[in-house]
Amino acid sequence: MTCPLCASDAPLSSFPVPGGPVDASADVCATCAAQIDGTPEDAHWRGLTSSMWSEGAAG
């Protein structure tokens, strides 16, 4: 299997989705898991979502 985030051929492990439901998880490689766990990636995703919502509301 390949990592859905970086497409590297590496062993995947289930990683809980930040800010998601309790049972939400994604199969990502150790590198991506470390990046998600070590950086405020969820804030970045929220920013993208906010931009989408703002664009929709403005239109």
Q: Which among 16-24, 25-33, 42-50, 51-59 is the span making contact with Zn ion, rule CB under 5 A?
A: 25-33
Dig out the tokens for 49 from the structure.
């979502």
Least distance to Zn ion, CB of residue 7, Å: 7
Q: Which among 14-22, 24-32, 35-43, 49-57 is the span making contact with Zn ion, rule CB under 5 A?
A: 24-32
Sequential DSSP letters for 7-34 = -----EEEEEPTTS-TT-EEEEEHHHHH
Q: What is the DSSP letter of 43?
A: H
Least distance to Zn ion, CB of residue 19, Å: 19
